[in-house]
């Protein structure tokens, strides 16, 4: 449950203010206190501050406008209300509240000069307001019921729907007449109409007595008139309503709350510094490892080139790919592939020749994993049998490279290599 310090401005000639603590459930949490803004600042104690400004300084009304929200709405409000305003719209500040169920939008209009004065006074006292609300929004709206609050010579009124305003130097009945909810008859005119409507009134005891005749007249005009006394003044009644979220907040647009990113970041400052330190240490460690590996690679490259020059002293080309260089040396020497290919392939060839005894081997040569065999056979069919027999195991692949007719014999060259090479 959130508690608010509600401060009411502008109701004493000496510049004093009133304040009280209320929570968002509509309950007061203390007594009304009077003093300076500096005194009120000492009672903030971490609570959000709601500031009530004089209703006589602010126009409160409703408009029907299709734009939903945002800067476009604030830009459209002056044009929607321009005909109802006496002052230049460029000197006024417009703020809107939550759209009501019937689609109408509550709007508050105040002179920018007054807003600047209020904000300057609050700033001088070290008070940062969470909301600044016209005080007449503290008179709760009751559907189907008219409400008035008498505070000195001011009468705050709402009809429970869309009409809410304040008048000075008038009686409660005058506000009902101004709202079009009560006919304006002279005292000698007969009242032949049926009573209609319900009125809830709030006032101090002195005002109840002062307006006794008006209460009597209203009871003849309305179904009911319920007068409630305010023993501690108007502020407690106003405060509990606005603490519950009612009213238009004037801190919008140019006066809107600025996000204090510095204060939001402050609780995370130490964690962020620690994280940054860990990132820097990690990057430095990676940099050291990269430098070390680069040096080792350069050293190994130098050792390899030295050994390679000893094996191939005539090759002065730059060695860019050591792996290919080693493969080239191995193929040139036949060291790696010779024993693995040559002897097994000879065994396979021997078995094939044993199966075709009428053929004979003339020559055999081996280079870089490839065996070339010169064979003499009585016919091509015999040669084909030898080729298929060598390839039958799947380990080697034999292919006939050439055939020549020599007398009554066939001389051919058979090439054998490892399968897949």
For 289-308, how does the pLDDT look when each residue is reduced to its tens digit (9 = 90+)? 999 999 988 888 888 887 77
| pLDDT value, residue 253 | 87
Q: Is residue 113 part of a domain?
A: yes
Q: Which domain covers residue 322, as residue numbers? A: 270-332
Number of structural domains the chain divides into: 3
Residues of the chain with pLDDT under 50: 187-188, 190, 335-338
Contact in structure between 359 and 386 (CB atoms under 8 Å): yes
The CATH number linked to 345 is 3.30.1360.100
Are 202 and 234 within 8 A, CB to CB?
yes
- Is there a single domain that holds both residue 21 and residue 153? yes
pTM of structure = 0.60
For residues 185 and 295, state if they share a domain: no
Beta strands in 213-291 (DSSP E): 224-229
The Cα–Cα gap between 195 and 173 comes to 14
Q: Is residue 239 located within the same domain as residue 288? A: no
- pLDDT for residue 264: 66
Does residue 229 share a domain with residue 176?
Answer: yes
Asked whether residue 263 is assigned to any structural domain, the reply reads: no
CATH assignment at residue 118: 3.30.420.380
- 58 and 106 inside one domain: yes
Asked whether residue 104 falls in the same domain as residue 223, the answer is yes
Q: Is residue 265 part of a domain?
A: no
Buried b (16+ CB within 10 A) or exposed e, 178-209: bbebbeeeeeeeeeeeeeebbbbbbbbeebbe
What are the pLDDT digits (tens) for 346-377? Answer: 888 888 888 888 888 889 888 877 888 999 98
Which neighbouring-strand residues pair with 165? 157
At residue 12, the pLDDT reads: 62
Find the length of the chain. 421
Q: Is 147 left (phi over 0), alpha (psi -120 to 50) or beta?
A: beta
Residue 206 resides in a domain: yes
Q: Are residues 325 and 359 in the same domain?
A: no
Residues 29 and 96 grouped into a single domain? yes
For residue 264, tell me if it sits in a domain: no
Number of Cβ within a 10 Å radius of residue 169:
9
8 A C-beta contact, residue 341 and residue 369: yes
Q: Are residues 191 and 147 in the same domain?
A: yes
């Amino acid at each position: 449950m959130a508690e608010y310090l509600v401060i009411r401005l502008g109701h004493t000639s000496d510049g004093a203010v009133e304040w009280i603590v209320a929570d968002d459930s509509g309950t007061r949490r203390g007594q009304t206190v009077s003093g300076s803004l500096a005194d009120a600042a000492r009672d903030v104690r971490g609570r959000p501050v709601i500031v009530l400004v004089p209703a006589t300084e602010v126009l409160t009304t409703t408009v029907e406008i299709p734009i939903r929200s945002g800067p476009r709405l604030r830009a459209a409000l002056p044009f929607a209300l321009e005909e109802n305003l006496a002052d230049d719209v460029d000197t006024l500040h417009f703020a809107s509240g939550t759209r009501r169920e019937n689609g109408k939008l509550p709007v508050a209009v105040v002179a920018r000069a007054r807003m600047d004065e209020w904000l300057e006074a609050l700033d001088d006292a070290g008070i940062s307001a969470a909301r600044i609300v016209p005080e007449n929004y503290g008179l709760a709206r009751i559907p189907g019921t008219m409400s008035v609050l008498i505070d000195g010579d001011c009468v705050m009124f709402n009809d429970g729907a869309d009409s809410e305003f304040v008048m000075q130097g008038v009686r409660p009945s005058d506000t009902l007449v101004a709202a079009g909810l009560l006919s304006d008859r002279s005292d000698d005119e007969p009242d032949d109409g049926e009573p209609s409507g319900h009125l809830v009134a709030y006032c101090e005891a002195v005002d109840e007595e002062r307006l006794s005749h008006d209460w009597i007249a209203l009871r003849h005009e309305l179904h009911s008139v319920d007068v409630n006394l305010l023993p501690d003044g108007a502020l407690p009644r106003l405060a509990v309503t606005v603490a519950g979220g009612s009213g238009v907040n004037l801190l919008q647009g140019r006066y809107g709350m600025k996000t204090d990113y510095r204060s939001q970041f402050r609780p995370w400052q130490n964690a962020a510094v620690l994280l940054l330190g860990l990132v820097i240490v990690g990057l430095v460690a990676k940099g050291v490892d990269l430098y070390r590996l680069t040096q080792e690679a350069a050293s190994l490259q130098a050792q390899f080139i030295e050994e390679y020059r000893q094996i191939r002293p005539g090759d002065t080309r730059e060695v860019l790919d050591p792996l290919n260089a080693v493969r080239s040396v191995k193929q040139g020497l036949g060291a790696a592939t010779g024993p693995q290919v040559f002897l097994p392939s000879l065994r396979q060839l021997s078995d094939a020749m044993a199966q075709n005894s009428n053929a004979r081997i003339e020559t055999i040569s081996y280079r870089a994993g490839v065996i070339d065999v010169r064979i003499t056979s009585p016919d091509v069919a015999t040669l084909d049998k030898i080729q298929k027999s060598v390839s039958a195991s799947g380990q080697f692949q034999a292919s006939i490279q050439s055939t020549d007719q020599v007398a009554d014999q066939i001389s051919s060259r058979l090439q054998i290599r490892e399968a897949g090479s």
